[in-house]
Amino acid sequence: MQQNEVDAVRSVLTRDLSTPPQIPASAMVQATTLMAGGRLHRYGELPEGEHSSVAQLEMAFAALLGATYAIGVNSCGCALFLSLVAAGVKPGDPVLMNAFTLAPVPGAVAHAGARPILVDITEDYVIDLDDLAAKAQASGARHLLLSHMRGHIGDMDQLAAFCTARGIALIEDCAHTLGADWNGTPTGRFGVAGCFSFQSYKHVNGGEGGMIVTDDEDLAARAILLSGSYMLYRQNGARPADEVFERWRYTSPNMSMRLSNLVAALVLPQLPLLPERAAIWNGLHDRLAGRLRRLNGLRLPLRSPAEHYVQSSIQFEAPGLDPERMAAFASSCAARGVFLKWFGADEPRGFTSQSQHWRYIENVEAPPRARRILRHLFDMRLPLTLTLAECDTVADIIGECLADLPAA
Ligand SMILES: *Cc1c(COP(=O)(O)O)cnc(C)c1O
């Protein structure tokens, strides 16, 4: 082909990458029935033996994760906050967290009045156990808030063993790992609590909402009371026995972070769809990852065979590019319909975030490896409606935009 013919067939992606998972018809029916009855608030006078939509979701969620208790709340950020407080974090306490995470995570630590201690990540985007050991030692922290950021799961056997040996309570942020596991154990089940999100861009779409899972009866009772159960906690779907609440009911403030029945009605029928959605997302991710790995100048993280991810987005680095060319690369991809989020932008934009933008933290400077990786990191959402052929188009566009960059 002549150069002008190549130009003439330059492909453009027409798929809207920002499309969230659709609400299934069965969920719309449940939501409509609920609205007709008006009982959108999870607590109230219920006929004997009847369970609210939130209580039903709590039972289903506990069963799905193999957890004893599940507590519906109004967001994953609040699930993280409530888990920290219910696990005993006090104002001023240091809380360890991996530096590759989203703004609601240091936000949850700040909400608890605690101090985030940023831990470095490995070349493969998961928490660095050596830096974790060093920061745990130096800070004396008793809590680790671990994000499986963008679906990347580290070696959870090693991490859980480390936390047990050091007496560190592990709280997992599973906003991007509902349906994922490490070596057969679902994420959210390795520490004292796991937190999940029902925000539209996670794996089940309720608009807003979150869930805490735990086997710890005191943590569960405290989280339920703090979440704003009034003295109606007996209506919770997966809760500890009454006597556990007796220990906490006079000392736990009501913080009004409840989940709405309407959200639960939308989410519950989506739980059985998780395996199907995971297969679609991983098919798209693996197709695109396979193509991107072949491009010169890009790096993708290595994944362990023990990690069973649900990859609803894809991340890659362009390690050789300077900031000017990274910005040019992102804008030429965008001009062809491929909207990449660049974590390294000077100003925080959209959903991307890096610690330098969280200036309320004492030591906002990210540790060195996280800094370098985030500076070169690109992120793209994989909507369920994307096709494998469109993944190839995306890879072509990315490859061509890279090749077209001026030399350094
Ligand atoms: C989305 C997200 C959260 C927060 O979830 P919300 O339900 O929006 O509060 C926390 N951590 C990570 C890694 C996320 O992606």
By percentage, how much of the chain surpasses pLDDT 90? Answer: 90
Atom of ligand 1 nearest to the CA of 79: 9
Ligand 1 pocket, CB under 6 A:
75-77, 101-102, 104-105, 147, 149, 173, 175-176, 197, 199, 210
Mean pLDDT of the residues in the chain: 95
Q: Is the pLDDT of residue 245 over 90?
A: yes
CA 104 / ligand 1 centre spacing (Å): 6
The rounded radius of gyration (Å) of the Cα atoms in the chain is: 22
Tokens of 284: 């798209």
Residue 297 Cα, ligand 1 centroid: separation in angstroms? 30
Ligand 1, residues 74, 75, 76: which to mutate, most atoms within 8 A of Cβ? 76
Confidence category of residue 352, pLDDT binned at 50, 70, 90: low
Ligand 1 atom having least distance to the Cα of 101: 13
* 102 CA to centre of ligand 1 in angstroms: 7
Q: Flag whether pLDDT at 328 surpasses 60.
A: yes
Q: Which of 81, 126, 197 to mutate to test the pocket of ligand 1 (most atoms within 8 A of CB)?
A: 197
Q: What is the pLDDT of residue 269?
A: 97
* pLDDT tops 60 at residue 3: no
Phi and psi dihedrals of 42, rounded to 5?
-70, -25
Residue 49 confidence (pLDDT) above 90: no
Rounded to the nearest angstrom, the distance between the alpha carbon of 203 and the centre of ligand 1 is 11
Distance CA 100, CA 121 (A): 7
User: Would you state the pLDDT for residue 1?
Assistant: 46
pLDDT at 363 over 80: no
Ligand 1 geometric centre to CA of 37 (Å): 31
pLDDT of residue 226: 98
For residue 109, how far is its CA from the centre of ligand 1 (angstroms)?
13
Cα 258 to Cα 223, 292, 369: the distances in Å are: 11, 42, 38
Average pLDDT over residues 203-223: 98
Burial class of residue 49 (count of CB atoms within 10 Å of its CB; 0-12, 13-18, 19+): exposed
> Closest ligand 1 atom, CA of 197?
7
The pLDDT tens digits for 75-120 are 999 999 999 999 999 999 999 999 999 999 999 999 999 999 999 9
Residue 357, pLDDT > 90, answer no
- pTM score, two decimals? 0.96
Q: Higher-confidence residue: 22 or 2?
A: 22
Q: Quick one: which atom of ligand 1 is closest to the CA of 198?
A: 7
Q: How confident is the model at residue 7 (pLDDT cuts 50, 70, 90)?
A: low
Angle at 285 between CA 278 and CA 147, to 5 degrees: 70
